[in-house]
Structure 1
Amino acid sequence: MAPYPTKTEIELFASSLGTSDPSPFFDRVSPNVQAFDHIAAANDLAARTKNLDSLQFSEAFHSNSRPPTDTSSADWKTHALGTINAVLASPLQLRVKNVVGGGDQPWAVLELEADATCKNGMEYAQRYAWVLRFDEEGIVVQARAYLDSALVQKAVDSNA
């Protein structure tokens, strides 16, 4: 048996991110998860936050130049996708496109996509890569999220 969740296991619990009950995914997140975002934009800068997909930037930095921010799984769950969901016509539904890693490796990349419409009619086609590190109990202890921040900002600005 593999010491870490397999690709199939990760696909299964991550698929809950596209439902009204994402708890199967968040139940696999440590209460003391280290989470931070690498926000991809034209200038290739990233911003460190305590919450995935929030725009409450604490400071700008280049990828991997600083250690992750400690946060709680409750904080992550509460605020994940909160900023963008406020401007969408309906809550964002994430779909799993691919999983790389897992099984005999502690790290896995979860490729996600979401196609939605903003309240003003703007199309919102976002792509994500979540890089996850699991402990030997199969719990996410570290997470990095990569996404198109220019798209998020455009959606927020045009729906203010």
Structure 2
Amino acid sequence: MAGSYHFRPMTPADLAQIRRWLALPHVQEWWGDPAEQYALVSGDLDEPAMDQFIVATDASDLGYIQCYDLTAWNSGFGDQPVGTRGIDLFIGAPDMIARGHGSALIRAFADDRLAQGAPRIVTDPDPANARAVRAYAKAGFQKAGRVDTPDGPALLMVRDA
């Protein structure tokens, strides 16, 4: 497993890779319809409350992470401290799955956002996505209960500064 991750701001030049990743079975399983998700991800490139990144190691790009201002969306996550950021991500590169990258890159990204002043980072994996729930827990997130989202039931997980 690589020890160092880079979070490069996503640009329109990355959209072809995003489209390919979204079409892969391991991403579709939890992100859903590739065309719908591509429209959402590409549509957020100009959204000021959404920061999007390509996750890379020194060797290659391996995934996508989005980080948003929770107050800009009606998330259904209840009252959260001002400045709380929500995150969603996937590892796109199939050869990088189940190698410890998930928890390591989540921890690195959350550490950075908390160091920049975010009071809390939240995420909402599908409760049935045991791999994601484990990765977030290994990255220091705590289970905060089930929530209802537009995509269905989710497990709210939080990490405080």
TM range (shorter): 0.3 to 0.5
Quick one: higher RCO (CA 8 Å, sep 6+), 1 or 2? 1
Question: Structure 1-normalised TM-score?
Answer: 0.33
